[in-house]
Amino acid sequence: MKVIRDPLWNNIRVEPLALRLIDTAAFQRLRYVRQLGLAFLVYPGASHSRFEHALGTYHLARKALGLLEERGDLENGGVGMDACTDVRLAALLHDIGHYPFSHALEEIGALNHEEVARPLICGGEVGAILSQELGRDAATRILDLIRGKSGSALQGLISGSLDLDKIEYLRRDALMCGVPYGEIDGDRLLNSLAVIRGVGLEVGGSTPNTTPQTGFICIQEKGLSAVESLLFAKYQMYRNVYWHHAVRSATAMYKRLVSDALDAGSLTADQLAGFTDEGLLHGLEAKGANPLLTALRERKLYKRAIEIPAAELPVDVGEWIADDWRRTMEVESDLGQKLGLARGELLLDYPAKTEMLGLNLPVLRRDGRVELLTQRTSGSTINLPKLSDELYRSARWLRVFTARPVRITRDEMLRLIS
């Protein structure tokens, strides 16, 4: 086993097969893709990469599987060692398809990073190693885990309401940003995980799983207080870091920059997943001067012309801003023209991540019953599903960013988005 030193988890022990995958060119690219995209323009310490996050998630997978094995859950759940190997490697490779600057490009309709991962995992160096060491269908099994479509009883460790990815990024992002919001009770969460067999529950992550599962990862009732800490940490991180107004301004500028380059033919969609952060910016610079790119380089971010919290908007109003990129650009151009702004000098932003605080979680009660955590089954604990919906609306803000000061009234904005 090789030991890699890490500022968050201290020593990460890496098995030989995982080390071979880490040494591939596809995985090494993650060293140069920032975990938090453009958040470093607001939090200077947020320059950590997808590379170290992937190592941390792998570490948590090894730790979680060790705890489940120690308690006999793996044996009782009918989980073999091959399935555990798949989970460890899925944890390691889950972000291998990420675009430059993290999730931003998925907001303009680019292929989801989990789908971009398909050729990287099933082909090339990674695919060859997996096939050689674990069998011809190994890459497909691991990809299914990453996409949330596996029949494995351990699916929930990789894609679900309480997957290891969330525990890792909340802890790491808070540490690197220098904020206290990501302090979740990770040890309690890991020690409260259990495997249950054949209960017939429909459990999934952001992508519903249509494959019948042989069992499920669940949380023991004693761990619900730790789930509460996870919920509040996610809310605080979205409100104060991920959806900070200046981070969203930079993200909106970057999205428009790349979208315009795609429309102009300066970039192709197939090229995007191969770039690093700086590689993409240098590539765009080589195509000629661009005001948006210059502004990002010099941190001359667009300012808020108006902002409205989602909690003050009617339900479903403005959702097209997150769902329909072409319509959003058309409205931006029309409104900007009316306000005397040039094309690209006004940007709309209404971030959406419906699974951000989602809870689709089986709970193992003390009396042996297993039930999904819903508003009806919350019992004497905090109504976590209802709370998660309220926190999500509280974290979202509809904003208009502009390159130069303009005046937009609230009524004008509501008419525009309704």
Q: pLDDT value at position 280? A: 94
Separation in Å, CA 59 to CA 54, 350, 378: 9, 34, 31
* Closest C-alpha among 369, 143, 161 to residue 152: 143
* For the chain, domain boundaries: 2-242
Cα–Cα distance, 133 to 15 (Å, whole number): 13
Kindly state the average pLDDT of the residues 91-105: 90
Q: Is the pLDDT of residue 94 over 90?
A: yes
Per-residue three-class SS string for the chain: CEEEEECCCEEEEECHHHHHHHCCHHHHHHHHCECCHHHHHCCCCCCCEHHHHHHHHHHHHHHHHHHHHHHCHHHHCCCCHHHHHHHHHHHHHCCCCCCCCCCHHHHHCCCCHHHHHHHHHHCHHHHHHHHHHHCCCHHHHHHHHHHCCCCCCCHHHHCCCCCHHHHHHHHHHHHHHCCCCCCCCHHHHHHCEEEEECCCCCCCCCCCCCCCCCEEEEEEHHHHHHHHHHHHHHHHHHHHHHCCHHHHHHHHHHHHHHHHHHHHCCCCHHHHCCCCHHHHHHHHHHCCCCHHHHHHHCCCCCEEEEEEEHHHCCCCCCCHHHHCHHHHHHHHHHHHHHCCCCCCCEEEECCCCCCCCCCCCEEECCCCCEEECCCCCCCCCCCHHHHHHHHHHHHCEEEEEECCCCCCCHHHHHHHHC
Whether 344 shows a pLDDT value over 70: the answer reads yes
Where is average pLDDT lowest: 30-39, 189-198, 253-262, 394-403?
189-198
390 pLDDT band, cuts 50/70/90, is: confident
More confident: 91 or 381: 91
pLDDT of residue 255: 94
Q: Which of 2-6, 132-136, 235-239, 266-270 has the lowest mean pLDDT?
A: 266-270
Global confidence as pTM: 0.93
Tokens representing 373 are 């955590």
Indicate whether 129 pLDDT > 70: yes
Q: What is the pLDDT of residue 207?
A: 45
CB 4 within 8 A of CB 103: no
Q: What is the pLDDT of residue 354?
A: 60
Q: CA-CA distance, 410 to 407, in Å (whole number)?
A: 10
Which residue type sits at 301? L
Amino acid at position 242, single letter: Y
What digits encode the pLDDT tens for the residues 40-77? 999 999 999 999 999 999 999 999 999 999 999 998 88
Q: Phi/psi zone of residue 176: left (φ > 0), alpha (ψ -120 to 50 degrees), beta?
A: alpha
Per-residue pLDDT of 291-320, as tens digits, reads: 999 999 999 999 999 999 998 998 888 999
Distances (CA, A) of 9 to 167, 177, 229, 372: 12, 16, 19, 31
Q: Evaluate if residue 376 carries a pLDDT over 60.
A: no
Q: What's the whole-number mean pLDDT along residues 243-268?
A: 94
For a pLDDT cut of 90, what percent of the chain falls above it? 64
**Span 281-295, pLDDT tens digits:** 999 999 888 999 999
Strands in 193-197's sheet, in edge-to-edge order, are: 193-197, 215-220, 362-364, 370-372
Q: In terms of CATH architecture, what is 2-242?
A: Orthogonal Bundle (1.10)
Average pLDDT over residues 199-215: 55
